Structure 1
Amino acid sequence: MKSIEECKSSGASRRRLVRGLALAASLLAAAVAPAAADVLLPDFAPFPESITSTRAGTLYSSSISDGGVVRVRPGSSEAEAFIKPGEGETRSTFGVLADEKTNTLWVCSNDASFIGLPGPSKVEGSYLKGFDLETGALKVSAPAPHKPSICNDIALLPDGTAIVSNVAQPELLRLKPGGEKLEVWLADPALKGGVDGLAFGPDGNLYVNTFNSGEFFRVDVVDGEAKKLTKLETSRPLTHPDGMRPYGSGFLMVEGAGPLSRVTISGDRANVETIKDFVGPTGVTLVGDTAWVCEGQLGYLFNPELKGKPRPQFHLRALPVEKK
C-alpha cells in the first residue's frame, strides 16, 4: 500500500501532466487556427469608403454611395446593418473611426451631390457624427463651418479631440470633446491636392496624404495645436493615397491605384513599401496581426463607360501582416 506522501506525490504529478497537456492543446489550436476570412459586403453596402475596428475585432464600414454603416462581429463572415442609410440624419458616409475610450463610432456624413453622389437623404452640408459603439444611438452631430466641405477621415488627439480632413478645402478641422461644431484647426494652400487620409504617429505629430496630388505631409503638434506643416519626400510616387492607420513605428496606407503599403518616416522622408495590391482600396484597419482592407472601387462611380452596368462585388479583405 502507498504511503500518504507517495499518494500526494503521484497526485501532483498527474495534475502537472494534465496542465501540460492542456497547454499543449491550446498552443496547437492556436497554431492551426484558420486565418481571418474575407467578408463579402451585402448589396445594401456598396462602395465602402472607410473601415475601422475595435481591439476585439469588430469591423465597421461605410458606404460613399448608399450611406449607412455595416458591422461585422469578430469571427463572422457576414456584415449586418448597424446604422441604416439616412439614420441619424446621415447621408453619404465617408470616414469611420472607433473610439473605445468614449464608446463612440465617429462617422463622416456628407451631402456629396455636387460630386454626383446624392446619397440616401436630403440633409445638406457636411457633418461629423458620433454614434454609440454598441447600440448605434446618435450622440453627436457637428456640422462643418462652411461650404463646400466634405468630412473625409478622422484621427484623435490624446484628449479625445477629433481631427477631420476636409477634402473639399485645403484644411483640417477639429471637434473638441463636448463641442457642437467643427472648427478650422489648420488651413494651408499646400493641402489643395485633396487632403484625405490621416493618422497620428508615435512622435505625436499628425501625418496626412492628399488624394489628388499624391503628396504626404507632417503636421507638427504642440499641446494639441497645429504648429508647422512639412511636405515629406516619398520613396516612390503615390497614386490616390487614401486611408491609413498607425502600424508599429509607422503606418499602413492604401492607394486607390491598388497598393497596401507600410510607410515609415525618417526625418523629412517617407519610405513606402508595398505589401500587396488590392482592387481599388479605400481604407485599412488593423486587428492583431491581420490587416483589413476595404475595396471601394470608387473609379466605377465616376467612369461614364460603366454607367448602367452591374455593380461589382465589394469585399473587406483580410491579410496577415508581420506583428509590430
Structure 2
Amino acid sequence: MRHVEPLRHSIRLSMLTILLAGVGLAAVASERTSEIRLPDSARFPESVTSVSDGTLFVSSIADGGVLKITGDGEVATSFLKSGDHGTRSTFGVLADEKRGTLWVASNDATAIGAKGPTTTEGGWVKAFDLATGALTQSIRLPGEKALANDFVLDAQGALYVTNTFAPQILRLRPGAAEFEIFVEDEALKKGLDGIAFGLDGNLYVNTFLGGELFRIEVKDGTAGPIKKLETTRPLKFPDALRTFKDGFLMVEGSGALSRVTVAGAVARIEPIREFAGPTGLTVAGDRIWVAEGQLGRLSPLAKGGGAAPSFHLRSIPVD
C-alpha cells in the first residue's frame, strides 16, 4: 500500500488541473431527449448505466445516492437516497438486468474534494434489487485504503471492480461474500478506472492519471500477462470504458467520447464528440448517453470558489 498516499495526492492535484468545456427531482429533457439536466441533488455525476427499456441510473460524487430517470427522460426519482445504507460518494453503477441487480460503488472521496453525505470510511460495493431498491449485499473492499471505481461482469455473473487507490482488479464470484484479488500489478498503479471485456475474452482497463490502456489476458477465469497498449493519440484522464460493436467506447475527462478498436498491441482512438468533462457512458437503445461529471470543478467549488455549474446527461445517436 506504499503507493496510496502519493496516488491520493496526485489524484487531488489532477482533478484541479483538468480543463473542461464549457429543483427538486424533476429532470429537464429537450424535445428529442438528447439532453437531460440533472437536479441539484445529483451534482458531479460519476457513472451512468441503463436497462433495456431505456431507464437510466446515475451516481453522484458530491451528493451520493443514485438517480433513476425514465426512458423518455421525463421523470427522475431517487433509486437510492443520499446516505442511505451507509453509502457516501457514489462512483460506478452497473445494471445487471439478467439477475435483477444494480451494483453501486460507494467511497470516501475526501481525497478528491468530495466529503459526501456520511462519514463511512473505505471503499464499498453494494447490490440493490432493481425492482424494489432493497439492499441485497454490502461488501467492503480489502485493504486500509481503497476506492471502488468501475465495474464489469463476466459471462458467469462474476463482478470485477477497479481499485483506484491500489493497482488491483478485484473479483466477486456469484454467491461470494468477499472480494478476491484477480490482478495486482505495479504496472496498474496510476489510478485504475475504466474496465471492460473485449470480444476476445480478455479484460481491458485504463488508468486515469497515467493515460494508459492495458489488455489483461484471461483464460479459463484466470488472469494472464498484462500488456500496455500503444494508442494512436495520447489519452487525457481516460475514464469509463464500455464494450461496443467490435471494440469499445471510452470517455476522457479532457472532453472526448471516442471509439476504441484494438489490433495487436495498438489501440486506435477515434474521437466522436466532445463533452464537458465526461465521466461515464452507457448505450441505451439507439443512443449513447454521456454523464458530464466536470470533476475539474469539484475541489474549487468545495473551497468556495465560484458558482456551481449545471450538470447534464447528453446523448448522441448510435451510428
**TM-score of the superposition, structure 1-length normalised?**
0.86
1:252 and 2:249 are equivalent in the alignment: yes
Give the whole-Å Cα distance in 1 for the aligned partners of 2:90 and 2:137: 15
Check the 8 A contact 1:38/1:77 in 2, yes or no: no
Question: Match of 1:38?
Answer: 35
* Equivalent in 169, 174, 188 of residue 172 of structure 1: 169
1:112 and 2:91 are equivalent in the alignment: no
1:70 is displaced (CA, Å) by 0.1
Question: Match of 1:103?
Answer: 100
1:40 is displaced (CA, Å) by 0.6
User: After superposition, where does 1:264-279 map in structure 2 within 5 Å?
Assistant: 264-279=261-276
1:304 is displaced (CA, Å) by 7.2
Deviations 1:84-128 (A, max 9, x none): 011121111000000011100001011222433221112111111
1:306 is displaced (CA, Å) by 7.1
1:186 and 2:183 are equivalent in the alignment: yes
Question: Match of 2:5?
Answer: none
Moved more, 138-147 or 116-125: 116-125
Check the 8 A contact 2:166/2:191 in 1, yes or no: yes
Deviations 1:141-187 (A, max 9, x none): 11111121000000011111100000001111111111112221100
Structure possessing the higher relative contact order (Cα contacts under 8 Å, 6 or more residues apart) = 2
Q: Which amino acid aligns with 2:219?
A: V
* SS of 2:229 mapped into structure 1: strand
* Equivalent in 228, 231, 235 of residue 232 of structure 2: 235
* Structure 2: gaps spanning 5 or more residues: 1-30
Question: Match of 1:135?
Answer: 132
Question: Match of 1:282?
Answer: 279
User: After superposition, where does 1:72-221 map in structure 2 within 5 Å?
Assistant: 72-221=69-218
Give the whole-Å Cα distance in 2 for the aligned partners of 1:125 and 1:306: 23
Deviations 1:279-302 (A, max 9, x none): 000011001221000000000013
How many pairs were matched up? 289
1:307 is displaced (CA, Å) by 2.9
Question: Match of 2:19?
Answer: none
Give the whole-Å Cα distance in 2 for the aligned partners of 1:75 and 1:215: 36
1:305 is displaced (CA, Å) by 10
Q: Which amino acid aligns with 1:165?
A: T
Give the whole-Å Cα distance in 1 for the aligned partners of 2:40 and 2:242: 27
Q: Which amino acid aligns with 2:45?
A: P
Check the 8 A contact 1:63/1:69 in 2, yes or no: yes
Q: Percent identity between the aligned chains? A: 52
Larger Rg: 1
Deviations 1:2-39 (A, max 9, x none): xxxxxxxxxxxxxxxxxxxxxxxxxxxxxxxx743311
Give the whole-Å Cα distance in 1 for the aligned partners of 2:97 and 2:240: 20
Deviations 1:60-79 (A, max 9, x none): 00001110000111112342
Give the whole-Å Cα distance in 1 for the aligned partners of 2:59 and 2:266: 32
1:245 is displaced (CA, Å) by 1.1
Check the 8 A contact 1:94/1:152 in 2, yes or no: yes
Q: Which amino acid aligns with 1:213?
A: G
Change (3 A) 1:310 1:304: closer
Q: Which amino acid aligns with 2:284?
A: V
1:319 and 2:303 are equivalent in the alignment: no
Question: Match of 1:7?
Answer: none
Change (3 A) 1:118 1:191: same
**TM-score of the superposition, structure 2-length normalised?**
0.88
Question: Match of 1:3?
Answer: none
Give the whole-Å Cα distance in 1 for the aligned partners of 2:188 and 2:103: 23
Check the 8 A contact 1:69/1:82 in 2, yes or no: yes
Check the 8 A contact 2:47/2:279 in 1, yes or no: yes
Give the whole-Å Cα distance in 1 for the aligned partners of 2:304 and 2:251: 26
Question: Match of 1:63?
Answer: 60
Give the whole-Å Cα distance in 2 for the aligned partners of 1:171 and 1:141: 19
Q: CA RMSD in A?
A: 1.4
Give the whole-Å Cα distance in 1 for the aligned partners of 2:146 and 2:291: 24
Give the whole-Å Cα distance in 2 for the aligned partners of 1:289 and 1:307: 40
Q: Which amino acid aligns with 1:287?
A: A
1:256 is displaced (CA, Å) by 0.1
* SS of 1:88 mapped into structure 2: helix
1:44 is displaced (CA, Å) by 0.3
1:129 is displaced (CA, Å) by 0.6
* SS of 2:136 mapped into structure 1: strand
1:227 is displaced (CA, Å) by 1.3
1:265 is displaced (CA, Å) by 0.8
* SS of 1:228 mapped into structure 2: strand
* Structure 1: gaps spanning 5 or more residues: 1-33
